[in-house]
Amino acid sequence: MDEYTEPKHRVNQQLSCSNCGAILKFAPGTHAIACTYCGTHNQIEQKSEEIVSEAIQEIDFHSFLKHNKDRGLKIEVKTVKCPGCGAVSSLKPNVTSDECAFCGTSLVLDSASISTLIKPKALLPFGLDHKRAIEVFNGWMSSLWFAPNNLTRIARQNEALKGMYIPYWTYDSSTYSTYSGERGDNYTETESYTDSDGNSQTRTVVKTRWFYVSGNVQNNFDDVLVVASNSLPREYAQNLEPWDLEKLVPYDEKFLSGFQTEAYQIELEKGFDYAQEIMEKEVRDSVRRDIGGDQQRIHSVHTDYDDITFKHILLPIWISSYKYNDKIYRFLINARTGEVQGERPYSWIKITLAVLAVVAAIFAYLYFSGNLK
Ligand SMILES: [Zn+2]
Ligand SMILES: [Zn+2]
């Protein structure tokens, strides 16, 4: 029981600068933590090959759920829940006030609590630094047509972009599916008809002959990615893919220093439901290929999921959210690839003025060219 009496959420001593005592933050694009005050750089130790391969090793899904009291795989983190959108994120060390990265609501840090969570095994460290992310953000902003003027002002605030580690599950499984359906083979036939002038004509039509079929297909899935956050709309998260998962490094809190980390809100089991949706689509594609022919109808598919394993990982994004006319808009950057996803408001005043200007130009043209008297 002793192991739980010691708070595990205090700042790791290795994270304070040996030179000036300030907090060392992970320097994106490097493998080091750095002091923003005196510039001291400390390399994050490279892990041995065994540790690396252990970290990217998947865990058996069913036996984990059965014995999920297993303490070795859990961590305690100090988290705060956003009163606005419900996102649960970790606190940056020494931060006394902060805003929710997902909706911009002020976080009440007094309400922080300790959550016990499945420990992430691996993560992708930030590749793009804050400066580069701001450039990408500004580039995107200035490309917007008909955006409200004060939007660019909101976006120009330095704190507008936050670095965030987002929780993900990845699942592996081999599937065996039995199906029944119909295969359609096309053929052509010449038929005669009478045209509108009363003459008899012939034409070629395509017809389909249907046969009942049944069979089975096998698929192997590797690293089916499911975002374990409710704060990030699923489609945006998917549009940030692909991730260079082959570059995953073992979890080390040094990589998290200077960033916020969101705690997962979608549990391991629920996450697998989403993974199944993704896998089912691919299974149906395999079934169609297996049926062959020119057209396919699928009546039923039954899939067994075997050898299910999972990993809990963290992936880095830069995120900005701003409220405009009571609606939340988000801007996201994949902090590995620079892939951008953004929502934007339109200024109806600007659009109306532009439309009026075009209408006025047309009238002016007609007037001066003498077509309008
Ligand atoms: Zn220092
Ligand atoms: Zn929020």
Domain residue limits, the chain? 2-178+213-342, 349-373
Question: How many angstroms separate the alpha carbon of residue 99 from the centre of ligand 2?
Answer: 8
Question: How many angstroms separate the alpha carbon of residue 94 from the centre of ligand 1?
Answer: 15
Q: Which ligand is nearest to the CA of 24?
A: 1
Query: CA–CA separation, 133 vs 340, rounded Å?
Result: 10
Spell out which residues have Cβ within 5 A of ligand 2, the ion: 82, 84-85, 87, 100, 102-103, 105
CA angle 73, 78, 84 (to 5 degrees): 120
The dihedral sign for the CA sequence 195, 198, 202, 207:
positive
Provide the pLDDT for residue 3: 34
Provide the pLDDT for residue 145: 62
Mean pLDDT of residues grouped by 10 in the chain (373 residues)?
Answer: 36 71 86 86 84 82 76 72 82 68 77 78 93 85 66 61 91 97 95 89 92 97 93 85 92 87 89 96 97 96 96 93 75 91 70 78 81 59
Question: How many angstroms separate the alpha carbon of residue 261 from the centre of ligand 2?
Answer: 13
For residue 95, give the 3-state DSSP assignment: coil
For residue 285, give the 3-state DSSP assignment: helix
Query: CA–CA separation, 40 vs 33, rounded Å?
Result: 8
Provide the pLDDT for residue 9: 42
Q: Which ligand is nearest to the CA of 108?
A: 2
Question: How many angstroms separate the alpha carbon of residue 323 from the centre of ligand 2?
Answer: 11
Question: How many angstroms separate the alpha carbon of residue 85 from the centre of ligand 2?
Answer: 4
**CA dihedral angle for residue 112, residue 117, residue 123, residue 126, rounded to 10 degrees:** -10
Q: Residue written as tokens 């990265």?
A: 101
Provide the pLDDT for residue 152: 59
Query: CA–CA separation, 335 vs 316, rounded Å?
Result: 5
The dihedral sign for the CA sequence 49, 225, 117, 166:
positive
Provide the pLDDT for residue 153: 60
Tell the burial category of 246 from Cβ atoms under 10 Å away from its Cβ (0-12, 13-18, 19+).
exposed
Question: How many angstroms separate the alpha carbon of residue 109 from the centre of ligand 1?
Answer: 26
Judge whether 313 and 120 are in contact, CB under 8 Å. Answer: yes
Question: How many angstroms separate the alpha carbon of residue 183 from the centre of ligand 1?
Answer: 70
